Amino acid sequence: MNRRREAVLLALPATIALTVLFLVPMVLILAQAIVQEGLSDFAEFLTDSFYLDVLATTLRVSLVSTILSLLIGYPVAYYMARTSSGFRKVMIVVILFPFLVSAVVRSYGWMVILGTNGLLNQLLMAMGLLSEPAKFINTEGAVVLGMIHLLIPYMILSLVAILQGIDPNVESAADSLGANPFQRFLHVTLPLSLPGIVNGCVLVFTMSMTSYVTPKLLGGSKFRMMATMVVQEVNVNFDYNAATAISYILLAAILVVQVLLGISTQRGMARLGGGRDA
């Protein structure tokens, strides 16, 4: 009992801070929006193809960024979890390094590289592969690229944490039982690392859904995602209630995807492991 009381006390400061600074304002803006305009802003968002398009773009960019981060990050994480070489420390530093630089600076970095007269265009033209500059910046591709660069450390660190916990002998056991490297991955490593995959995907997906700086700087003025819409409603249109509606719809979209992800993980783990015999 004493333990439990200690735990409650320890959680108290964070709980108070979150309630006062986050939960209460969330409830207040929702209450204000509903009192002032009912649910009309929500209805407008969900029926207007312009807004639905923004939601679709946000979901698409986030899903693509998440999947690519997973595909690129998994081999890196696996290597880091299994190697004992000193190179591992170098990799951790390299992966953590982006955290030391803000998203703004990193996006500017990409602007320098991807711009019309940027490094990439100059390089490709010098090599004779392009006769005139191609449009890299202000595209959805640039946003996805920036997003992956920004968020992949979260994916890798989530995966390393779980992969390190998988006993290498369990993989060796699969080897000795005749599983080729692909079968071993499919039936042993992958199902055992699913919790890390889900964790990494939830982090990357959520941060991508709510990101503002990257789409703003790399997507250009006409590229809109949910977070940039919220800022636009507040700063340009002064429509706080519309901003509230967009925020809540964004929140709902994130929760729905997370729940779906959680359910499919549990099913996947069971399916990849076992089998049925006569």
Binding residues with other proteins: total (CB under 8 A): 27
Q: Establish if 267 lies at the interface with other proteins (CB under 8 A).
A: no
Interactions with other proteins, residue window 113-172 (CB under 8 A): 167, 169-170, 172
Nearer to other proteins, 237 or 266 (CB): 266
Nearer to other proteins, 46 or 177 (CB): 177
Under 8 Å CB-to-CB from 241, ≥6 apart: which residues? 32, 33, 36, 37, 41
CA dihedral of residues 17, 256, 200, 167 (deg, nearest 10): 110
Nearer to other proteins, 234 or 269 (CB): 269
Interactions with other proteins, residue window 31-60 (CB under 8 A): none
Q: Establish if 173 lies at the interface with other proteins (CB under 8 A).
A: yes
**Buried/exposed 38-69: b ≥16 CB within 10 Å, e otherwise:** eeebbeebeeeeebeebbebbbebbbbbbebb
Count other Cβ atoms within 10 Å, centred on residue 181: 11
Judged by DSSP in three states, 38 sits in coil
Identity of residue 154: Y
Q: Establish if 91 lies at the interface with other proteins (CB under 8 A).
A: no
Quote the least distance from Cβ 171 to other proteins, whole Å.
Answer: 9
Nearer to other proteins, 139 or 187 (CB): 187
Give the integer Cα–Cα distance in Å for 237 and 247. Answer: 15
Q: What is the CA radius of gyration of the chain?
A: 23
Quote the least distance from Cβ 76 to other proteins, whole Å.
Answer: 23
Q: Establish if 181 lies at the interface with other proteins (CB under 8 A).
A: yes
Q: Establish if 86 lies at the interface with other proteins (CB under 8 A).
A: no
Interactions with other proteins, residue window 190-209 (CB under 8 A): 191-192
Judged by DSSP in three states, 124 sits in helix
Q: Establish if 184 lies at the interface with other proteins (CB under 8 A).
A: yes
Q: Establish if 187 lies at the interface with other proteins (CB under 8 A).
A: yes
Q: Which of 5, 222, 267, 276 binds other proteins (CB under 8 A)?
A: 276
Quote the least distance from Cβ 81 to other proteins, whole Å.
Answer: 17
Quote the least distance from Cβ 261 to other proteins, whole Å.
Answer: 18
Quote the least distance from Cβ 274 to other proteins, whole Å.
Answer: 4
Q: Report whether 154 contacts 204 (CB < 8 A).
A: yes
Q: Establish if 252 lies at the interface with other proteins (CB under 8 A).
A: no
How many residues appear in the chain? 278
CA dihedral of residues 55, 59, 62, 68 (deg, nearest 10): -150
What totals of helices (H) and strands (E) does the chain contain, helices first?
14, 0
The residues binding other proteins (CB under 8 A) are 167, 169-170, 172-181, 183-184, 187-188, 191-192, 269, 272-278
